Amino acid sequence: MHVTNTSAVVLQQVTKRFQNVTAVDAIDLDIRDGEFFSMLGPSGCGKTTTLRMIAGFEFPSSGVISLGGAHVEKVPAHLRNVNTVFQSYALFPHMTVAENIAFGLEMKNVPRADIKPRVDAALAMVQLGNYGARRPKQLSGGQQQRVALARALVNRPKVLLLDEPLGALDLKLRKEMQIELKRLQQEVGITFIYVTHDQEEALTMSDRIAVMNQGKLLQVGSPTEIYERPSSRFVADFIGEANFIDGVVTDIGTPYCTVRASNGLELKGMLQGTSSVGAAVTIAIRPEKLRLTVQAPENVSTLAAKVEQVVYIGSDTRLTVRLSDTITLDVWEQNIRSTLDRDAYWQRGEQGFVTWNPDNALILTA
């Protein structure tokens, strides 16, 4: 991995307002050199606006943006050493593939003799060696995507910005390109800033992920941190699936705290952040972290539950169990038992016991 401790891009208190809408609200980010960094969030969360400010297409209303240590927040796009892969690819339709790729080098007055070998190398890098003479229109979506990548990377930018670049591709091609992108990024060692609303894509490719919502930065961390230790209910909900139980803190302990749910159940979990006795909180548990057993296990806190719904999806069985009048939980069981054992599968209406490791029950204050 090429990640070092120097910063490629730093955002300090960056805010962008359009008329009276605040698209990006006082964001701080420190993106490291050589990192695959994703910005994840629902549409309208401000991730694309943030990317556009780094590219220079928008200027922040306030705040500081540095690229490689130099302040650039007022520098226009054509003078910044970053390149963008657009969601629509934005290939120049009146130029050939090779002319498209050469365009950036021409604009930087690279000597003519150097342009051709660099264009050829860029085409080879994205496995389009023989396509230089074609027009963008004559290529498939996936090929156009590769040309857009080559056109950006041929300039050897410090940072490559990608705005939902796989959004227009079908699922199979997306998966292929995800791997391809990750390979390219490791090969060239350039910092990638990747904007997506697809959580799976972000988890698969990123070294670190920033989760945004309504213009605010909610959490920055590795895919594991974001998934296993979400700092807020929004993050837990947006990335993967989670059960949420509202309650009030009744005991602050180490390592576990106790929360009383609305119906009086006492649940243990790990407190994320700080809280105090009596505060309203939410417990979040991923469905795959729950176990449903026929007999109550010993020495662990467990809750009686009734199976309400069984959905068999091959690798997993997805169960919905009811704990009380107001609380149901989703439980995902991997189908690891013998397929001949008829009793291995839960049936609707059966009684069981739900158990979890309190390490995996997160007490969220936001």
Partner 1 sequence: MTVVAPDETPLAHQRQQRRRLWLLLAPGGLWLLFFFVLPLLIVMLYSFATPGPTGDVIWQFNFDSYITLMGKDLYFNAYYRSLWVGLQTTVICLLVGYPLALYMTLAAPKQRNLLLFLVLIPFWTNFLVRTYAWMIILSNNGLINELLQMLGFAKQLLYPSTGAVLVGLIYGSLPFMVLPLYASLARFDFTLMEASADLGAGRWRSFWRIMFPLTVPGVVAGSVLVFIPTVGQFVVSDLLGGSKVDLLGNLLQRLFTRSNPPNWPLGSALALVFMFVLTLIVIIYFRTTTEEDR
Residues of this chain that interact with partner 1 (CB under 8 A) are: 55-57, 76-79, 82-84, 86, 88, 90-94, 103-104, 107-108, 151-152, 155
CB of 155 to partner 1, least distance (A): 7
Amino acid identity of residue 192, one-letter, is: F
Contact call for residues 16 and 171 (beta carbons, < 8 A) = no
Shortest spacing between CB 30 and partner 1, in angstroms: 23
For the CB of residue 93, give the shortest distance to partner 1 in the complex, in Å. 7
Measured from the CB atom, the residue of 151 and 208 that comes closer to partner 1 is: 151
Residue from 208, 227, 163 nearest 3 by CA:
208
Closer by beta carbon to partner 1, 95 or else 310: 95
Selection from 240, 219, 241 nearest residue 231 by Cα: 219
Count CB neighbours of 323 within 10 A: 18
Q: By C-beta, is 71 or 108 nearer to partner 1?
A: 108
- Which three-class secondary structure state does DSSP give residue 248? strand
Closer to partner 1 by Cβ: residue 107 or 304: 107
In the complex, least distance from residue 49 CB atom to partner 1, rounded to whole angstroms: 14
For the bound state, the minimum distance from the C-beta of residue 105 to partner 1, rounded and expressed in Å, comes to 9
Written as one string, the DSSP assignment of 1-27 is ----SSEEEEEEEEEEEETTEEEEEEE
Q: How far apart are the C-alpha atoms of 131 and 138, rounded to whole Å?
A: 10
- Tokens representing residue 86 in the block: 């657009």
Nearer of residues 81 and 186 to partner 1, judged by Cβ: 81
Amino acid identity of residue 5, one-letter, is N
Q: How far is CA 26 from CA 58, 60, 131, 160, 266, in A?
A: 15, 10, 44, 23, 39
Q: How far apart are CA 171 and CA 273, in angstroms?
A: 38
Round to the nearest angstrom and report the end-to-end CA distance of the chain: 34
Comparing CB distances to partner 1, the nearer of 57 and 345 is: 57
Residue 86 CB, nearest approach to partner 1 (Å): 6
- Count H helices and E strands in the chain, helices first: 8, 20
Q: How far apart are CA 55 and CA 65, in angstroms?
A: 10
- In the complex, minimum distance from the CB of residue 188 to partner 1, in angstroms, rounded to a whole number: 17
Backbone angles phi, psi at 59, to 5 degrees: -110, 140
Closer to partner 1 by CB, 3 or 90: give it. 90
Is 265 in a helix, a strand, or coil?
coil
Q: Closest CB to partner 1 among 92 and 312?
A: 92
Shortest separation between residue 94's beta carbon and partner 1, angstroms: 5
